[in-house]
Each structure stands twice: as C-alpha cells, then as structure tokens.
Structure 1
Amino acid sequence: MNLEHESLSSHSDQEAAELLVDFLWLFRGKPLPGPVLDLACGDCRNGIEAARLGHAVHCCDVSREALSRAESLARTYGVSIEIHQVDLEQGDPPIPAEETYGAVLVFRYLYRPLFPCIRKALKPGGVLIYETFTVDQARFGKPRNPDFLLKPGELRDAFRDWEVLHYFEGIKSNPDRAVAQLVCRKPDA
C-alpha cells in the first residue's frame, strides 16, 4: 500500500463531499436498486450521508482506524453501516462480480483495475459518483504519483457507455485541487 495514496484516501469526519451533496436527489424519491458501496471510504462520511437517507451502506477501507471513526460517526448520526476492512489493491478485488449495488461512491481514490469491478458490481439503473485527482494535481501537492492521477478524459472514457448526468474536469478551490468528477447511471439491461 502506497502511503502517499493512503493518506489521501482517508477522509476526515467533516461533512459529505460537495459533489455527493449536489447529487443527493438521486438518493431520494425512487429507491436505488440496491445498497450503496462507499469504496476507500476513510471515515465513510459520504456513505453515512446515504445512510441518513435510509439506504443500506457498505463501507470499505484498508485502515482499521478510519473504519473505527466511521462506526463512531455512524453512531453519532444514529445510522447503521456495514464495515469491511479490505485492501482493494491486493489479490482479487473484493467487490462482488455480480450486480449487487444500487450506488457506488468513490472519492479521492484511484486504482484503475477496479473500474471493471465497479461496472459489474452496479445493478442496471445504479448510480456511480466518482471524484478523484487528475495529472494537474501535481502542481498543487499530493498525490504526485501518476498511478494515482487520472489522465485527461480517462474517467469519462471508462464509463463512456453509461448515462452521464454530470462530468467536470478541472480545478476546484478550497482547497485548490485538480479533479475529475463523474456522476453516471448504468443503463438498464
């Protein structure tokens, strides 16, 4: 496990990511076709936001410490989450190969071999909300390792056959960072 990468995949117990908050409407009204999976979740603040809306949430991270914070945060909000301590980069991906999830959340994390797993794990009609760093991030700080930085258009291209609800690639502020954001829906079978 690369420590530079690990430090950025661990989220603090602040509020949910702005991108998720902007698209919470996808989690209201019509039910999702399955539980929510929060990958490399850190303290699972994004998954907990989905749990607060009544969704079953599975949180995965390599850090036992981060997952302990997630359990504590879930108790604070009076919600239940399912915790899985797993290294997503070792061995076979622990994501089910069959269509299981109604939504997958990924923030500040990139491990390209998971793209096909995410595609398979989402049920038809399921939603992917993904935000991570691009190659332009190197000018702002960590991560700088190209293994953890998206190339231009790479995230969009990985899910090009899905219904894109939102795509952004560029610089965000507070703090300054270079990111790609994708919100998309898996087509019905």
Structure 2
Amino acid sequence: MDKQNPIIETKRLILREVTFEDALDMYHYLSDEEVVKHMGLAPAQNVEDVLDEIEWYHSIITEGTGIRWGITLKDSGKVIGSCGYLNMQHKHYRAEVGFELSKGCWGKSIASEALGAIIRYGFNHYQLERIEALIEPGNIHSQRLVSKLGFTKEGLLRHYEYTLGKFDDLYMYSIIKSDLIK
C-alpha cells in the first residue's frame, strides 16, 4: 500500500490528506454530538482531541492498515468530513469503509459522491475484491447511503464492538467488485 494519500477529485470535491492545519475545521464537526453519535467516539472536547484523530489517520497509512481522506469542497478547500479505509486485509483483498460529514453538509449527496469515489479507487488502485461497511442499527442515513451505492446488507453482528462503555451491535454491509459491473 502507498504510504501517502493520493488526491482524488470529483465534480464538487477534492479528497486529500488531512494535515494538522485542518484541526480547527475538523473540530467544528467532530465536536458535534449528532455527527459522532454513531462513530464510537465521544465528541471532541478540544483541538487536542482532533490532533489525536489526525495522528491516527497518519498512523494507519504508515502501518499499511488503512487510509483516510479529508473531504473538501473545491470552492473552499475547508475539510468538511473524512472518509477512507480501515482494517485493510491485503492478503484477503478486503477493507472496511468509514465516513463522517459536517452536519451542515448533510442531505446534499456529498457523502455519496465522496464514498463512490473511494469505492472505485479501492477496487481499481488497491485491487480490493470486497469492501465492508459496519453500521449501527440506529444509523438509518448511513444504511440508506451504502444501499444506494450498491452495498448488500449481510446481517447483524451482535455486540461486535465495545465503545463508550457499552457493547454495540453492527450491521454488516458489503459490496464486491463485480457488484459495480452488473
């Protein structure tokens, strides 16, 4: 896996590496309870919490276990969310996808545009065969989004994660490379 973030451009967006200079923009949405509600994270209390998140983004690239892009609007360059891969299993040609977006950008098909771009990138550049999305049952909007993009709901993983002092059930969604060719 590349040890850097390639830039991905779509009609309205530029997906790029997040830097420490983006911390204030990211604090705006990572401190929002509604944005982080289904992420297994507590809302950021300060910019240092966001710097820790950015450090994690950099560490998964270095370790070869994932990649995270900042979602920016072409006209502003401001980071309004992020998306990317984690738990990449190169031997098995699969990875999990994750994303979040500033609340002011919800309902504008921005997440769909960004996620669609990285899905194509994952299949073409990383030669992934399978991309998974693990989504909390209460996160209806994300379930609709991945379904719209061609993911199939495979089932419920009971008490799959322990976050914020509780066990979380997660739905497993997946898309495989041939799903895009149909």
Q: TM-score, normalised by structure 1?
A: 0.38
Between structures 1 and 2, the one with greater strand share:
2
Q: TM-score, normalised by structure 2?
A: 0.39
Between structures 1 and 2, the one with greater helix share:
2
